Structure 1
Amino acid sequence: MHSSEKKAYLYILLSSFLFFIFGNWILSLTSLDEGRNFYATLHMLKTGNFVIPEYNCSPRFEKPPLLYWLGALSFLVFGASEFSARLVSGLSATLTAFLVYLFSKEFLTKEKALFSALSFTLLIHTWIESRAYVPEFTLVFFSTLGLYLLMKERFTLAWLSLAFAFLTKGPVGLLPLFIYLLWKRNLSFIELKGIILFLVVGFSWYFLMIYLYGWSYFFKFFIYENLYRFTGKYELHPMPFYFYPLIILFSSLLFIPLIPKIIKNYDRRLNFFLLWFFAVVIFYSLSKNKLHHYILFSYPPLSVIFGNYITKNYLKKVYAVALILFSLLLFGANYYESKRFTPKAVEYLKETNPKNLYFYKHENSAIVAYLYKCIPKKEKFSKGDYLITKEKHLKNLKNYEIILKGIEFEGREVLVRIR
């Protein structure tokens, strides 16, 4: 390996550590999925059952297990914490940045490949999602690796990577095959040993779950969580068709000045990456339910497009602005954490350990995870019951005492005791 290559890897590693990993411990668990995933991982380690994910005393059918398995490995090495959980996403983002470098080297110069990988670390949305214990960035890594191996015609290894993508998020893990077909327009990737490997690695867990739970699992995951979400029959996150373009525009804030140059002097060597980008955007835009992190798989090709037009001088200016924005983001997260409900509630509940603790018209999965305690939902209460709910639901209650309150991403939450 030449010294220039070593420098490139070092730059990518340092930029990835800063923007994808550093400070990932500042916020306690945030989204509903983070708490659920953390609990499921912790439960696997405590019970030794690595087959059936559980959350709050019930099987968790919504997600496949690979994220939990990787999280459990991180927990074993670093202990169970926000850092070790989110490290899975941070490392996935870091490895994806290296893949962007390798991928773009197949089409562009080494210098432009480095600029592409560094551009990937400067897409603002990636800073947020690499600090979330959710499966999306792990899916992006295995999907990008699978597509890279397909383009290199390493089909057996490509099927293996896609099997891991399938174990991470389900059928969307096969999207790289669709992109490869659009570009190559042949079926050369269909090989018996690769398909067998995919079935053994990617499908065995699903077969076992269907064997254990039958139609209820098949319907819940493949039909309800995938088909119904895509078609809108299960309406959970309805968003307009322009939702993802807005997300991408926000994420590309540091590169907007390059857009006129890209349009005016388009380089045909980028055709594959342009197809990849639009295939992902169009696919997820057709879905009736949209979440911002679904679009992450469009960022590797987008960063290659930006990287081809960036200059050293522009990159230096971008890093200066990025460091300011990133610092503000970390300071903001630290301040927000001091005002949050979850850490205050967890501290109080660990000290008092109330026997009768319930959710009312609301759920805070982070508290379930931190207490490692099943908290049922309830509508009718008795004297002495403790309730976690949103402040807006207090109007439905009588004879209660507010123990503490605080802000959360989904609104103000309160802990009350029935008098």
Structure 2
Amino acid sequence: MPRQNKTNTVITIIFISFITFFANNTVIVPDIMESRNIITAREMVYDGHWLVPTLNGDLRLEKPPLPTWITAVAEIISPDSLALQRGMAALAALLLVFYFYKFTRFMPDINPMVATMILCTCYSVILMGRTASWDIYCHAFMMCAIYYLCKGLTLPGCSWKCFIVSGIMMGFSFLSKGPVSFYSLLLPLLAAFAMTNRPSLKRKGKGILVTVILCLVIGLWWYAYIYAFHPEAMAYVAEKESGAWLNHNVRPWYYYWKFFLESGVWSLLLPTAILLPVWSGDDRKNKSYLLPFAWMFIMLVLLSLFPEKKTRYLLPLLIPASYLMGYLITLWEERLRYKSVFKTDKILFGINSWTLAAVVFAIPVAAWIFLYTPGYITLTVMILFAAVIWAAAIMLAIYARKLKPVKMVATVLALFLFAELFAMPSLKNVINNPEMNSISKTRENQQLKGVPFFYNKENPLRIEIVYAAGRVIRPLTVTDKDSLLQKLPCVVITHEPVKKELPDIWDSADSLFVGTYDDNRWAKRHHRHSSEFVYNVTLLSPKEK
């Protein structure tokens, strides 16, 4: 590829990724996974717990620390900046997209930009790339490792650069979420790549050995450190995590049968791509089709065999799935130019494109009912929103009639970029609770500066409350009056009024009611509104004599 074209490609990928993962990334309130990561990062920065991470003052060894270290760097650069904390995850998503694009060198019959556009419009990829959790990091590092490993295996001789970079990135992946990406992304890829490309290992043994050694050294040094200094805690966590894999969220083997729905807007295109060999026999022999198909199928089988199942575990599956859909769109772009096109291709493209156009056309109607009528958006916003969406629907209809599959994908991408740039801010009160009165407001209360926070040990504390409060909140044994009095002055957070929940201390301390705070993501009228997120905050101090 000429240098100018490479530059334009990089700029295009950065542009798409910036809007997809960075723009308006603070609209959604952090969930439990993000809260854990950000709290641990805070305690690294402010309490110095870099090598032995803690969560709300307790050891947090369930997850390797690399993503949290990266989040902690964001905290150092700009304290309490959710945009930057999520921006670090967005950089990982950018890394994933970039090496996803580059990996198409092994599938020459796929238009790399088409496959990339499809990946950047898959729901799970967008969500994970916009949140400061672990998943995007391990898969991004692994995608980079896979690219250099496969490149090293296919180049003549031993490419030390490829094997060294691959080993480093595998180590980073392990240091991000343990063996998760090795099992779900690397292992299926190696099996599929061996079946379709059959790379020669001649003169590559030393390079592969270097990859393995670097991966083990980088990936395992932290575990070795924890085992050396906290062996009991490490043993407990290992038993707990292995038990969770086998006993928590156990689902039947067919639980992932709806895997294609994780692609979101492409939920119809993905099954179409999977069934391509049914009407087009020549494609079943094409390596550009076989590699992503085998990669995805083996991955789906391995994930289905694992007892613990969650839909977010399907995130890596969208990588080969996007290649598969990219192959189909590239194939259609070539075939639909000619009158000799298979009738089946024409019919299936029509079903996909006209369905997309119809769904997009219906979006403003749904917005009128669910957004404008309840008062979430103004009439002006509604009109502008409808105009853009209907314009996109018309374009999709035109491309459906003129048989333009690549332009159809580009229109869907443009629609997503518009939503991420302009629609997200307007939907803030729809996605979140407009009535939220967050405990984060206590951060600005001067009376509470430097005062320790406690909660009733008998009532489990949601970790999201710790994130919002921006401080450690330790458990309190409410029946131990003497111990409690020794902690004064302190702040206690209780579901019930402090007089009712802590009667033993009520008469022995002076109290100042600070307020009632509700950190529910859902409004009170919603069935998912929970009292677990509602707390009374009270400042207790020694009783004046």
Interval of TM-score (by shorter of Structure 1 and Structure 2)? 0.7 to 0.9
Conserved? CA contact 1:358–1:378, under 8 Å? yes
1:223 matched to which residue of 2? 239
**3-state SS of paired residue (2:534):** strand
2:258 matched to which residue of 1? 246
2:225 matched to which residue of 1? 208
**3-state SS of paired residue (1:339):** coil
Matches within 5 A, 1:73-92: 73-92=73-92
1:364 matched to which residue of 2? 462
Is the counterpart of residue 281 in structure 1 residue 401 in structure 2?
no
**1:355-398 CA distance string (max 9 Å, x none):** 55315633332332344422134574789974355x9xx9x969
User: CA 1:107/1:336 → structure 2, altered by over 3 Å: closer, same or farther?
Assistant: closer
Conserved? CA contact 2:92–2:137, under 8 Å? yes
User: CA 1:73/1:285 → structure 2, altered by over 3 Å: closer, same or farther?
Assistant: same
In the TM superposition, residue 180 of structure 1 has moved relative to its aligned partner by 4.4
* Partner Cα distance (1:349, 1:287) in 2: 43
Larger Rg: 1 or 2? 2
2:391 matched to which residue of 1? none
1:37 matched to which residue of 2? 37
User: CA 1:312/1:39 → structure 2, altered by over 3 Å: closer, same or farther?
Assistant: same
Q: Which amino acid aligns with 2:210?
A: K
* Partner Cα distance (1:217, 1:21) in 2: 36
Q: CA RMSD in A?
A: 3.4
1:134 matched to which residue of 2? 133
**3-state SS of paired residue (1:415):** strand
**1:54-77 CA distance string (max 9 Å, x none):** 111111011111011212233334
1:415 matched to which residue of 2? 535
1:348 matched to which residue of 2? 442
2:412 matched to which residue of 1? 318
User: CA 1:209/1:411 → structure 2, altered by over 3 Å: closer, same or farther?
Assistant: farther
* Partner Cα distance (2:292, 2:477) in 1: 52
Is the counterpart of residue 147 in structure 1 residue 146 in structure 2?
yes
**3-state SS of paired residue (1:358):** strand
In the TM superposition, residue 50 of structure 1 has moved relative to its aligned partner by 2.0
Conserved? CA contact 2:121–2:265, under 8 Å? no
Total equivalences in the alignment: 408
* Partner Cα distance (2:491, 2:49) in 1: 32
Conserved? CA contact 2:250–2:309, under 8 Å? yes
User: CA 1:19/1:195 → structure 2, altered by over 3 Å: closer, same or farther?
Assistant: same
**3-state SS of paired residue (2:309):** coil
Is the counterpart of residue 294 in structure 1 residue 298 in structure 2?
no
Note the residue ranges of structure 2 that are not aligned, 5 or more in a row: 154-161, 330-404, 485-489, 507-512, 523-527, 541-545
* Partner Cα distance (1:203, 1:398) in 2: 46
In the TM superposition, residue 340 of structure 1 has moved relative to its aligned partner by 6.1
2:428 matched to which residue of 1? 333
In the TM superposition, residue 332 of structure 1 has moved relative to its aligned partner by 2.8
In the TM superposition, residue 35 of structure 1 has moved relative to its aligned partner by 1.6
User: CA 1:164/1:178 → structure 2, altered by over 3 Å: closer, same or farther?
Assistant: same
* Partner Cα distance (1:43, 1:299) in 2: 34
User: CA 1:142/1:218 → structure 2, altered by over 3 Å: closer, same or farther?
Assistant: farther
Higher mean alpha-carbon deviation, 365-374 vs 39-48, is at: 365-374
1:119 matched to which residue of 2? 118
**1:192-221 CA distance string (max 9 Å, x none):** 33332222211111100000111430341x
2:24 matched to which residue of 1? 23
Higher relative contact order (CA 8 A, sep 6+): 1
In the TM superposition, residue 308 of structure 1 has moved relative to its aligned partner by 1.8
User: CA 1:340/1:60 → structure 2, altered by over 3 Å: closer, same or farther?
Assistant: farther
**3-state SS of paired residue (2:297):** helix
User: CA 1:70/1:398 → structure 2, altered by over 3 Å: closer, same or farther?
Assistant: closer
* Partner Cα distance (1:45, 1:85) in 2: 13
In the TM superposition, residue 107 of structure 1 has moved relative to its aligned partner by 1.1
**3-state SS of paired residue (2:6):** helix
* Partner Cα distance (2:190, 2:414) in 1: 40
User: CA 1:329/1:291 → structure 2, altered by over 3 Å: closer, same or farther?
Assistant: farther
Conserved? CA contact 1:61–1:217, under 8 Å? yes
User: CA 1:68/1:371 → structure 2, altered by over 3 Å: closer, same or farther?
Assistant: same
1:309 matched to which residue of 2? 328
